Amino acid sequence: MKMFDPHIHMTSRTTDDYAAMAEAGIAAIVEPAFWLGQPRTHAGSFEDYFNGLLGWERFRASQFGIRHFCTIALNPKEANDPRLSEEVIDMMPRYLQKEGVVAVGEIGYDDQTDSEEKLFERQMAMAMEYGLPVLIHTPHRDKKQGTVRSIDLVKSMGFPEERALIDHNTEETLPLVLDTGCWAGHSIYPNTKMDEERMARLVKQYGSERIIINSAADWGISDPLKVPKTVDKMREMGIPEVDIETIVWSNPATFFAQSGNLNLEDIETRPNINQTELFDGNSVLRGQTPIVES
Partner 1 sequence: MKQHLHDLLRARAGGDALAWLEKALAATTPPVHHNTLLGYYSGASRRMGKRALNLSQQEQARGETLDAELALSHWGADEAARALLLLTLAEQLPPEEFAELARRCYELGDSREQESWLRGLGPLPDCARFLASAVDACRTNIIPVFEAIACENPYPLRVFPEANFNQLILKSLFNGIALERIVGLEARLNASLSRMSDDYVSEREAAGRTVPTDIWLVLAPHIAGEGLVRVHRYLSHEDPAHRYWAALGLGHHANGESREALRARAALEREPRVKAALDGALARMG
Interface with partner 1, residue 205, by CB under 8 A: no
* Contact pick of 98, 130, 155, 170 for partner 1 (by CB under 8 A): 170
Nearest-10 Cα torsion for 96, 134, 38, 229: -120
Q: Are 248 and 234 in contact (CB under 8 A)?
A: no
Stretch that binds partner 1, among 25-33, 159-167, 168-176, 261-269 (CB under 8 A): 168-176
Interface with partner 1, residue 87, by CB under 8 A: no
How far apart CA 8 and CA 174 sit, in angstroms, is 20
Q: Which is nearer to partner 1, 76 or 100 (CB)?
A: 76
CB of 37 to partner 1, least distance (A): 6
Contacts of 148 (CB under 8 A, 6+ apart): 176
Which is nearest to 193 in space by CA: 165, 221, 235?
221
How far apart CA 136 and CA 182 sit, in angstroms, is 10
Stretch that binds partner 1, among 3-11, 55-63, 111-119, 238-246 (CB under 8 A): 111-119
Q: Which is nearer to partner 1, 5 or 110 (CB)?
A: 110
The size of the chain, in residues, is: 294
CB of 130 to partner 1, least distance (A): 28
Interface with partner 1, residue 152, by CB under 8 A: no
Which residues, in sequence order, are bridge partners of residue 29? 5, 68
Binding site residues, partner 1, CB under 8 A: 37-39, 41, 77, 80-81, 110-113, 140-145, 170-172, 194, 198, 220
